[in-house]
Structure 1
Amino acid sequence: MTNNLKEIIINYSYPSLNGVYLRPGLYLNPDTNPNIFLVGYNPATPIHKNDLKQSEYRNLILSHKKFISYYEALRIKKGKRKLSPTRKRINDLVTKVFTDTNEVMFETNIFSYPTSKEKELRALPKDILEEVKQPFIEMLHTI
């Protein structure tokens, strides 16, 4: 991962509104520079500051494998399926692209604030919406 991308992830992986951590991006292999960016709208599974300390969360999102393991356990704990249908498709796409091209994908979202429904995201105050777009905007300037 380029130092700039890693720095953006670290700088923006803090608890925002209601103590929900922002999720600026996930990267399968932080030792290489990504050539492919998978951009979504916003993450769907919130992780709260009561779930993890900020330092633990930062370490988690810097490791795709650790993040997915934690994500699966969190979803099961909440009585949900291990993987959401969207996460399964994302994982399948990341694997397929790597298998076919040997390229590693960087996963990011326009809005880094996780909500289970788009309607919840749209209901956020405008200043929060601006705040949670900043990681994506900085990434665009970096790549």
Structure 2
Amino acid sequence: MNLTIFETRLRELLDDPTSLRPFVCEGSPLECEIFLVGIEPATPLRKGFWDFWKPGYGFDRETWLVTYLQERRDAGKQNASPTRRNMDHFIAGTDGCKVLETNVFAGARPRYRRDGSEVRAPFRFLLEAVQPKVIFVHGGPARKEIASMSLSIPVMEANHLCYQTTKEKAREYGRHAKELARTS
């Protein structure tokens, strides 16, 4: 699959504009070897996913991150959430390995709850299209969802990255994920 076909298929799943956030990465998601998976995005944004998508390039994580941080500040919240900081430390730990940040459910809301409105289709599409070498999943609900999928790729599990995860532990997780990706 190439990036044009990927975009076409993703657009079949997502409206434009959309409030869903299927993933965040820098550039082409098809180059990502590692999936960093939570349960659902916690910070809704005014700008939508397609505002950060560049045909022929992929997702512009750098611009997305500037927007994310600004919208959090505008809402009176700390610059980056503990989860976001540890996700960034995880990515730093992979030392250049391409990481796709995603969630089992693509809809953003401040508190996780199972109420039947969860949107799984983007995650399933990403698994099929990208075929990551490793999945790092954090948080009990996300681990439970991933376990129910009976995947044939290595899955690393951890507590939610906002809970009792130090900067160094998050980087260690990233280093381990990179090692697994290189040997898979």
Q: Does the alignment reach a TM-score above 0.5?
A: yes
CA shift at 1:59, angstroms? Answer: 3.1
Larger strand proportion of the pair: 2
> Which residue of structure 1 lines up, in the alignment, with residue 110 of structure 2?
116
CA shift at 1:92, angstroms? Answer: 1.0
| Residue in structure 1 matching 2:51, options 59, 75, 88 | 59
| Residue in structure 2 matching 1:139, options 99, 120, 126 | 126
CA RMSD of aligned residues (A): 2.6
Q: Based on CA coordinates, which of the two structures has the bigger radius of gyration?
A: 2
Q: AA paired with 1:58?
A: W
In the alignment, the residues of structure 2 paired with residue 36 and residue 110 of structure 1 have an alpha-carbon distance, to the nearest angstrom, of: 15
CA shift at 1:35, angstroms? Answer: 1.0
In the alignment, the residues of structure 1 paired with residue 120 and residue 6 of structure 2 have an alpha-carbon distance, to the nearest angstrom, of: 15
**How many pairs were matched up?**
124
8 Å CA contact 1:29, 1:104 repeated in 2? no
> Which residue of structure 1 lines up, in the alignment, with residue 71 of structure 2?
74
8 Å CA contact 2:35, 2:102 repeated in 1? yes
> Which residue of structure 1 lines up, in the alignment, with residue 40 of structure 2?
42
TM-score (norm 2): 0.58
Distance 1:106 1:8, change over 3 A: farther
Q: What is the DSSP-based 3-state SS (H/G/I as helix, E as strand, rest coil) of the residue aligned with 2:63?
A: helix
Larger helix proportion of the pair: 1
Structure 2, unmatched stretches of 5+, are: 54-58, 132-184
